[in-house]
A and B are shown apart, each in its own frame.
Chain A
C-alpha cells in the first residue's frame, strides 16, 4: 500500500491536492456532467425505443446508478481512510489498472463530447465553417478552462448550471400552450416494458459517468459527504432530463422526437408566449453551451489527472498537447455525424458501461485492501 504523502508542502505536483471543492460544488459538477451531454441527441433514441414512456427511463436509471455508486463508494469511514492513500505517491499495480481504465473511459467521453459540440454548432449555428477550425477553437477553450484547475471548473459550472436548471424548470410553463397530454397515452401498457428496458440500458452508461468522482476524493472538503453529494447530483440530472424528455413528447409527439437529430432544439423552437417572445431558442442555446464546455473541460481535466497521477512534474505540462490531440481525434475518428451518433447511441452503451463497471469493481477491491 502506498505511504500517505504530504503533498500540501510538496513542490510541483503538490498543487493538485490544494484544490478543494465543497459537497455542493461536487453535486453540481455531477449534475452538469450527466445532464448537459444527454440532452443533445439522446432523446431521439430513447423515444425510438420506448415511445411515449421514454421520460421514465431517466427515473429508472437514477435508481440503478445511485445504487451502484453507493455500493462502490462504500462506508464513510472507509472512504475517509482511503482518501489519505488512494492515488497518492507511486501508484500500485491495481491503481495503475484503475488509472488506465479511467483514462480510456474519459478520453473516449471527451472525444465524443467534443464532436457532439462541433456537430451541433456546425448544423445549427455555423454551417459553412469547417469543422477542423471549430475543433481547434473548441480545443483552445477547453484547454484554457481545464488548465485553470478544478476549482475554476467547479465555480464556472455552479454559475452556469444553476441558470440552465432554472430555464429547464421553466420550460413546461413556457410550452404549456403547445403541450398535449394525450401524447403520453397509452401509459400503463405491459407491452411498453421491453422498450423501456432498452432505453434505460442505452442511458445507463451516460449516467454511469458519475463514476468520475472516484478520482476527485482527495479534492473534497468533506469526504464524508461525497456519497450523498454524488447521489444528489445524479438525482438532479436525471430529474431534469426526465422533464426535458416529457416536455418533448408532450409538445412534439413521439414520431417527431424519434426522427429529429436535435429534438431538444426543435422543442425550444416551439416556445411562443406572444409574438414578442417568439424566438428563445438561441437564448437557451447560449445558456447551455457554457455548461457543456465546462463538462468537456472537466473531461480533459480528469484525463490529465490520470496521466499525471503520481508524477512529480507540474500537472499542467501535458494539458495543451492532450487537449489539441483530443480535439483532432474528435474530427478524425468519425467520418460524419451519423457515425458519431451511432457511436454515441449504441457503442457507448456497451463500451462505457463495461469500463464503468470495471472501474467500480477495481475501486471496491482497492477499498477492501486499504
Chain B
C-alpha cells in the first residue's frame, strides 16, 4: 500500500515536469529582425525601423512556402514605429505585427544622420541592456534617414541587411562593443562606417543602391564630421584595415598606378619636444602591382624608387589630411591620448587629461611611410595605337 502510494506520488510529481514550457515559442510566431534603424524625428521622438525577412519569399524559383505573404517588393519588409524612447517605439511597432519581434539575430544597427549627430549613447545602452541584443552587431551611420536606407535593394543579396553586413565586414568592422569602448576611452574617439544612397551606374536603369565609402568620426557619442574621398582611406590606414584595398596615384602625365595592399602595419613613436607630446606615425605598407597605366619598367631601380616615393607621398597626404581635420575638430582619431593614458599615465592625469582636445590642435604629428611593392606579375605591354 505504501509502495503504491509512493509510486502514485512520484507519477503525479513527474507530470509537473511534462507541462509545456512557458517560454516555448514556435518558429513561425517570431519575426526575426536582421537590421534595425534608429532615427530622431523633428518633435524629438524616436523612430525605430526593422527589416524582417519573409521566409516564404526566400526560396528559389518555383518554391512555395507556408505562412506569410510574398511581398511584392522582395523577400523582406520594412516597418517602423515611433515613441518617446526606443523601447516605446518597439512596442508601437509590435502592436502592428502578427509575430513577436525577435532581436537575437540582428546583426546590423543603422543610426540615422540626425540621431548620430545628437548622440548615439542611448542606442548603445539599449543594445547593452537588452538580453536579446548582441554586442557583436555592426554599428553604421546612414546619410539621411536610416529608414530610407533599409528600404534600398541590393542586387547581389536577397536581403539588404545582409548586404550591409558584408560591406561592413570588408570596410571597418565596428561592432557595438568596440564603439562603446572607444567612446569611454580617454584620448580616443570612435569611427563608424557611413552608408548612403547612390544612383545606379547602369544606363537605362533608374533607382538607387547602397554605397559604403566614407566614415563618421565621433566626438564622444556624437558624430563630429564625415570624411571626404581623400580622408576615407586614411581611416583604414590608421586602423590597420587596408589589406585587400587598393591605392591609385598619378605617376606622370601618362597615367596612374594602382597597387593592392597585401600587408599594412601602424606603429606610433612618442617623444617630448619642449615639454609637449609629439608623435611619429609609421606605416609600413606592402603591395602588389595591379595596374601600370604609364607602362613603366619597374625592373629599373630608379623607376621603382620613384614609384615607391609617389606611393608614400599619396599615403602621407591622405593620413595628414585626415589627422589635421580631425585634430582641428577635437577628435583624436588615431588614439594618441589613449597611448599617453596607457603608457604615461601619471603625466596624462596631471597635464593632459582634462583638456586633451585643446592640446590636440597643437599636437605635432609626423607621418612616415615605408612602402614596398612585393609582387609584379606582369608589368604590362605597350600596345601600338
Contacts and interface: CB of A to CB of B under 8 A. Distances in A.
A103 to B, nearest CB: 27
Given A126-B22, A133-B22, A259 B343 contact: no
A128 B177 CA distance: 27
B338 interface: yes
B16 interface: yes
What range describes how many residues of B lie at the interface? 20 to 34
B177 A129 contact: no
Given A123-B131, A182-B342, A256 B22 contact: no
B134 interface: yes
Contacts of B345: 185-186, 189
Given A129-B22, A255-B181, A269 B342 contact: no
A303 to B, nearest CB: 22
Contacts, number: 61
Nearest to B180: A256
A126 B338 CA distance: 41
Given A137-B17, A270-B135, A270-B177, A126 B23 contact: yes
A189 B44 CA distance: 45
Nearest to A136: B16
Interface residues of A, number: 29
Contacts of B17: 137, 140
B296 interface: no
Contacts of A259: 128
A28 to B, nearest CB: 29
B343 A186 contact: yes
B341 interface: yes
B200 interface: no
A186 B16 CA distance: 55
A256 B345 CA distance: 21
B21 A252 contact: no
B124 to A, nearest CB: 10
A108 interface: no
Contacts of B177: 251-253, 256, 266, 270
A12 interface: no
Given A126-B23, A127-B131, A186 B180 contact: no
Contacts of A260: 128
A145 B282 CA distance: 61
Interface of chain B: mostly helix, strand, loop or mixed? helix
Contacts of A137: 17
Given A124-B131, A269-B136, A270-B136, A255 B23 contact: no
Interface in B177-222: 177, 180-181, 184-185
Contacts of A321: none
A30 B128 CA distance: 34
B23 A127 contact: yes
A183 B177 CA distance: 13
A137 B21 CA distance: 12
Contacts of B341: 185-186
A269 B22 contact: no
A256 B136 contact: no
B333 to A, nearest CB: 16
A272 interface: yes
Interface string A59-85: 000000000000000000000000000
Given A266-B135, A272-B136, A253 B23 contact: no
Interface string A257-290: 0011000001001101000000000000000000
Interface in A168-224: 180, 182-183, 185-186, 189
Nearest to B19: A133
B22 A128 contact: yes
Contacts of A182: 338, 342
Nearest to B105: A279
A17 B335 CA distance: 64
B342 A255 contact: no
Contacts of A136: 16
A137 B23 CA distance: 15
Contacts of A189: 345-346
Interface of A: 123-130, 133, 136-137, 140, 180, 182-183, 185-186, 189, 251-253, 255-256, 259-260, 266, 269-270, 272
Given A126-B22, A129-B23, A269-B136, 13 more contacts: A127-B23, A128-B22, A129-B22, A133-B22, A140-B13, A182-B342, A186-B341, A186-B343, A189-B346, A253-B177, A255-B180, A266-B177, A270-B135
12 contacts: A125-B23, A126-B23, A128-B23, A182-B342, A183-B181, A185-B342, A185-B343, A252-B135, A255-B180, A256-B177, A256-B181, A269-B136
Interface of B: 13, 16-17, 21-23, 128, 131, 134-136, 177, 180-181, 184-185, 338, 341-343, 345-346
Which 3 pairs, one residue from A and one from B, show the smallest C-beta to C-beta distance?
A185-B342, A129-B22, A186-B345
